[in-house]
Amino acid sequence: MAEDPTNIDTEQKWPLDPEEYKRYGRQLIMPEIGLQGQLNLKSSSVLIVGVGGLGCPAAAYLAGAGVGKIGLVDGDTVEKSNLHRQILHSTATVGMSKVESAIKYLTSLNPTVKYVPHIAHVSTETTLDLFTPYDLVLDCTDTPASRYLISDTCVLLGKPLISASALRIDGQLMILNYPPLPPGNSKGGPCYRCFFPKPPSPESVTSCGEGGILGPVVGVMGVLQALEAIKLICAGINSEEPVESRDRPILHIFSGRPGATSPFQFRAIPFRGRKSNCAVCSSFATITKESLTSGSLDYQKFCGILNPVTALRAEERVSVEDFAESISKPMTEVRSAKRTDSRKYTVVDVREKVQFELGNLPGSINIPYSELCHVTRSDNVSMSAQKESSKDGQPTPAWVTTLSKTSPDASIYVICRLGNDSQLAVQKMKEYGLGKGSERFIADIKGGFSSWREMVDPTFPDY
């Protein structure tokens, strides 16, 4: 007797859709993933904070692996300078929100994943609500303030965190708050504050816009974030035991010099357990959900962010228009600040040598800011005092000697990329007595080459 087709069980016969078996087949047959691992991926949700050099490759591989829901957080738009490393964006999406640009690419890669846009920067007012719906968080941001905020929020909500960073040809990866146990439980994984109880000084923090970044390096770190996320998800995020042993390395460093004789290298640094006095994950924690949302925690202030720099008085600064006018005249008619005098001038470019070589003002002297600030001196130190100090094993820096050989009545104009380092450089020069009291005029050029390009010479290289 033929079976009545209307009585056939219409329930899905297999745990995955036919399309999913085909799409994820190459990882499904791996014992490390298998059917249960794929089901874990499908039911998981991951929040990626930052859709730049780290977030782009991480998102691509998580989407490709079949994570069920991916949230993307970023308040920036795509710029041309992003394209050499931020692989989800393209020339066609320059000017578009990074989140929208990324979702456009990811949807074409894997339309079965749910993508949730969050077009904004993280803040103390939003992180608790923003992070709550997700199982796992990836910190793909690039500032200390955001890293502390993201880590604190993950501890308070019991979310594992995979954090990475990269600069030039170096990178680091950390698996934090895993296992994600409540504050005070010593079996829980350490947080960002366990590694760095205090933030680095603002002067020591270099962004990729200032220090540069090699695309494949930040790409490697983002891929490693995705790999660690897949490992945690497949093993079960809420397990009280880590994926590997309790003593596994938790800080991974990627560094070295490219080339056949000096390859890139990985180092792993073990870090056991939470710090007993950590401000957020120990039993003595002072950071709570209430303090986070009340506004009493100022992460920008905590990290000492001072941007833009306002270190000089108005009379110690010169606009690019005034400076351009002064150098277009004979040297006997140089204009300094708001007055015209007969002094000559010296232009000091404090960008690093590699930037100086990209483009510079004719006749300018390159003294990198890193060289200027290599030695710290107290205020009101005269040149004669510097010469005397050399007898005590503290020689006068070479750049001071170089500038002291210029005409003593020549004004010194200092320029950098954005107008921040130049102000600090002016202060440093005066500390070394190069201003000879008030006899020699030393000033910075406001806005640096960014303003120079905008107001004077639009052909100056924009990098």
Ordered DSSP codes for 187-234? TSPP-HHHH-SSPPPGGG---HHHH-B-HHHHHHHHHHHHHHHHHHHH
d(CA 159, CA 182): 10
**pLDDT of 6 higher than 80:** no
Q: Has residue 255 been placed in a domain?
A: yes
Specify the DSSP class assigned to residue 433: T
Among 243, 270, 302, identify where a domain stops.
302
pLDDT of residue 137: 98
DSSP string spanning 316-382?
GEE-HHHHHHHHTS-GGG-EETTEE-S--EEEEE-S-HHHHTT---TT-EE--HHHHTSS---SS--
Same domain? For 88 and 186 the reply is: yes
Which listed residue (56, 140, 303, 416) is catalytic?
416
416 belongs to the catalytic site: yes
Q: How confident is the model at residue 75 (pLDDT cuts 50, 70, 90)?
A: very high
Domain termination site, one of 302, 324, 341: 302
Q: Side chain identity at 450, as an amino acid letter? A: S
- Using the predicted structure, report yes or no on whether residue 369 has a pLDDT greater than 80: yes
The rounded mean pLDDT for the chain is 83
38 within some domain: no
Which tens digits make up the pLDDT trace of 379-419? 333 333 344 344 345 678 889 988 988 887 789 999 999 89
Binned at pLDDT 50, 70 and 90, residue 207 comes out as: low
User: Would the annotation count 54 as a binding residue?
Assistant: no
Note whether 356 and 240 are same-domain residues: no
CA geometry: angle 227, 232, 233, nearest 5 deg: 95
Residues 298 and 334 in one domain: no
For residues 256 and 374, state if they share a domain. Answer: no
Check pLDDT > 80 for residue 188. Answer: yes
* 318 and 446 part of one domain: yes
Same domain, 143 and 238: yes
> Based on the domain organization, do 374 and 296 belong to the same domain?
no
- List the structure tokens of 220: 């490697």
Q: Is 156 assigned to a binding site?
A: no
DSSP assignment of 104-150 = HHHHHH-TTSEEEEE-S---TTTHHHHHTT-SEEEE----HHHHHHH
Residue 12 placed within a domain: no
Q: Are residues 153 and 64 in the same domain?
A: yes
The residues, any chain, with a CB within 8 Å of residue 250's CB and separated by 6 or more, are 174, 175, 176, 189, 190, 269, 270, 271
Would residue 402 count as lying in a domain? Answer: yes
d(CA 372, CA 282): 41
Query: At 283, which CATH number?
Result: 3.40.50.720
Take residue 63 and report the two structure tokens written for it.
Answer: 């989407």
Which is more confidently placed, 399 or 208?
Answer: 399
The answer to whether the annotation marks 74 as part of a ligand binding site is: yes
Residue 248, in any domain of the structure: yes
Which has the minimum average pLDDT: 59-73, 177-191, 251-265, 405-419?
Answer: 251-265
Beta bridge partners of residue 366, listed in sequence order: 349
Residue 323's φ and ψ, nearest 5 degrees, are -65, -45
Give the pair of three-digit tokens for residue 445: 């050029």
Minimum mean pLDDT among 105-114, 121-130, 329-338, 399-408: which range?
329-338
Looking at the chain, how many residues does it have? 463
For residue 50, pLDDT beyond 70: yes
Is 187 inside a domain boundary? Answer: yes
Q: Do residues 324 and 276 share a domain?
A: no
285/356 same-domain check: no
**DSSP state for residue 300 in the 8-state scheme:** H
Reduced to 3 states (helix: H, G, I; strand: E, B; else coil), residue 452 is helix
Mean local confidence (pLDDT), 67-75: 98
Which pLDDT band, with edges at 50, 70 and 90, does 244 fall under? low
Give the pLDDT band of residue 167 (cuts 50, 70, 90): confident
Asked whether residue 368 carries a pLDDT value surpassing 50, the answer given is yes
pLDDT at position 35 over 90: yes
Domain final position from 280, 302, 324: 302
Q: Which domain holds residue 268?
A: 44-302
Asked if 88 and 185 sit in the same domain, the reply is yes
Cα angle 78-70-294, degrees, rounded to a multiple of 5 = 85
- Whether 303 has a binding-site annotation, put simply, is no
Residue 331 pLDDT > 60, yes or no?
no
For the domain that residue 376 is a member of, what is the CATH number?
A: 3.40.250.10
**Same domain, yes or no: 283 and 335:** no
Q: What pLDDT score does 11 carry? A: 64
Annotated ligand binding at 83? The verdict is yes
- Joined together, the tokens standing for residue 366 give 């390159």
Higher pLDDT, 273 or 204: 273
- Which of 280-284, 288-292, 304-308 has the lowest average pLDDT? 304-308
Is the pLDDT at 252 greater than 70? The verdict is no
Residue at 9 is within a domain = no
pLDDT of residue 393: 52
Instruction: Return the axis-axis angle of helices 448-455 and 320-327, rounded to nearest 10°.
Output: 70
- pLDDT of 9 > 70? The answer is no
The pTM is what?
0.76
Q: Is 219 within any annotated ligand binding site?
A: no
Is residue 191 part of an annotated ligand binding site? yes
Most confident of 176-180, 259-263, 306-310: 176-180
Count of domains in the chain? 2
- Whether residue 233 has pLDDT greater than 70: yes
* pLDDT over threshold 80, residue 258: no
- Radius of gyration for the alpha carbons in the chain, expressed in angstroms and rounded: 28
138 appears as a binding residue in the annotation: no
Catalytic residue among 56, 208, 234, 303: 208
pLDDT of residue 328: 74
Confidence of residue 110 (pLDDT cuts 50, 70, 90): very high
Residues 6+ apart with CB under 8 A from 176: 151, 154, 160, 161, 162, 163, 189, 190, 191, 192, 250
Indicate if the pLDDT at residue 109 is higher than 50. Answer: yes
Query: Which pLDDT value is given to residue 432?
Result: 87
Q: Mean pLDDT over residues 49-75, rounded?
A: 98
Is 108 assigned to a binding site? no
Is residue 338 domain-resident? Answer: yes
